[in-house]
Structures are given as structure tokens and as C-alpha cells.
């Protein structure tokens, strides 16, 4: 199952029909994906499942209907085991950004962490999952696919948020404080911490 967030509301791409009642189920063959996304954006639908027996076809179809933006991001730990967060647009987030020409996804993720937070001395530990969310820019819907990496950093200075990206704060957060902080974060970020079983 793929979980795509549209305006922070879940759209599940699934090959299983669940016996729940609090969501709407749509069949891939009979739904206009763009119209569905618009309805979710307009808060007319809070939670939806898009069904097809072939799960990979669901994601492929979504990508064919909406332009895809590829991004890389980092879940960065320091020597004390604290995790790096940024604060922008009134929410806590992790550093990430779009890929540039001829960059590998690892290079994108590391460059974006450095640019957005001023933190260097980075090394990639492992590749984490991808997250998916639909956003609207200049009247057009786009699907952002972010590949996340767990990273370590030997940086010991003071982090600095990238002003032109609207980053107000960059902070190392003690793992025990993360659950509270996630209450004011995005669903994709919460999902990352839920599924990666980060040790708190």
C-alpha cells in the first residue's frame, strides 16, 4: 500500500479492500484522479482509498496524471543521538528539497540538509522509505516524491536556517521530545517516524 498525502489528508493506493466505514473507496478504472485530488484539497473528502488489484499500477497512473517532483531529505542524528528538525510555515519539518541536474538522490539529500540548516560533516547511514504528497503551486497540482536517508553528522557548531527558504529555526531535538513535537508536524514526517521505528 502507498500512502499519498493530499493537503495532509491520506489517499491510500491499495490492492486490498478494507472493511472500514470512515473513508470513501474509489476504483482506478472509474475515477478521474485529478478530480479526486481536487475534492480532497477542497476538504470534501477527508480520507480515500484508491483500489486496483495491481498496486504498482496505481502509483504509475497517479504519476502519469500529475507532474512528479523528485526530492531528497535527511533524518540527521548527531553524536548525542539528537535529531535535526527545521521550523517553517508554522510547523516542524525535516530538511529536504528538489533534485538538481546530474545529481544522485544521496547528493540531493546531503546538499539540501547543508543548505537548509548549515550543518555539514554528514554521512549517510541508510536509505529510508519514500514519502508522497500532492501540493498545489501556481494553480497546478504536483506529486512530490521524497526519498529519505538516515544520516549522521559530526557538526558541532550552531545550525543556521536558510532564510530564503523561510526556515525560522533549526534545532537538535532530544528523542524523548520528538513525539510532542510531531503533534505540530506534517503527516509524511509522522509516517517516517512511525514506520522507521526510530528508537526514542
pLDDT digits (tens, 9 = 90+) for 11-22: 999 999 877 667
Architecture of domain 68-195: Alpha-Beta Complex (3.90)
Buried b (16+ CB within 10 A) or exposed e, 83-115: bbbbbbeeebbbbbbebeeeeebeebbbbbbbe
pLDDT digits (tens, 9 = 90+) for 155-168: 999 999 999 999 99
**What average pLDDT does the segment 110-133 reach?**
97
Task: Enumerate the domain spans of the chain.
Answer: 2-65, 68-195
Q: What is the 3-state secondary structure (H, E, C) of 108-144?
A: HHHHHHHHHHCCCCEEEEEEEEEEEEEEEECCEEEEE
**What average pLDDT does the segment 166-180 reach?**
96
Per-residue model confidence (pLDDT) at position 135: 94
SS3 content of the chain, % helix, strand, coil (to 5): 30, 40, 30
Amino acid at each position: 500500500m502507498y500512502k499519498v498525502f493530499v493537503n495532509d489528508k491520506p489517499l491510500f493506493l491499495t490492492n486490498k479492500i478494507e472493511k472500514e466505514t470512515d473513508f470513501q473507496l474509489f476504483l482506478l478504472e472509474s475515477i478521474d484522479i485529478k478530480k479526486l485530488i481536487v475534492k480532497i484539497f477542497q476538504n470534501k473528502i477527508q480520507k480515500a482509498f484508491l483500489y486496483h488489484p495491481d498496486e504498482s499500477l496505481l502509483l504509475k497512473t497517479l504519476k502519469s496524471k500529475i507532474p512528479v517532483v523528485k526530492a531528497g531529505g535527511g533524518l540527521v542524528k548527531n553524536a548525542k543521538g539528537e535529531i535535526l528538525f527545521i521550523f517553517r510555515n508554522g510547523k516542524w519539518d525535516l530538511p529536504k528539497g528538489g533534485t538538481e541536474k546530474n545529481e544522485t538522490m544521496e547528493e540531493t539529500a546531503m546538499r539540501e540538509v547543508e543548505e537548509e540548516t548549515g550543518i555539514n560533516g554528514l554521512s549517510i547511514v541508510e536509505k529510508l522509505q519514500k514519502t508522497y504528497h500532492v501540493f498545489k503551486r501556481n494553480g497546478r497540482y504536483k506529486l512530490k516524491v521524497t526519498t529519505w536517508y538516515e544520516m549522521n553528522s559530526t557538526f558541532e557548531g550552531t545550525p543556521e536556517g536558510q532564510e530564503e527558504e523561510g526556515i525560522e529555526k533549526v534545532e537538535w531535538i532530544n528523542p524523548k521530545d520528538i513525539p510532542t513535537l510531531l503533534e505540530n508536524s506534517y503527516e509524511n514526517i509522522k509516517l517516517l517516524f512511525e514506520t522507521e521505528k526510530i528508537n526514542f
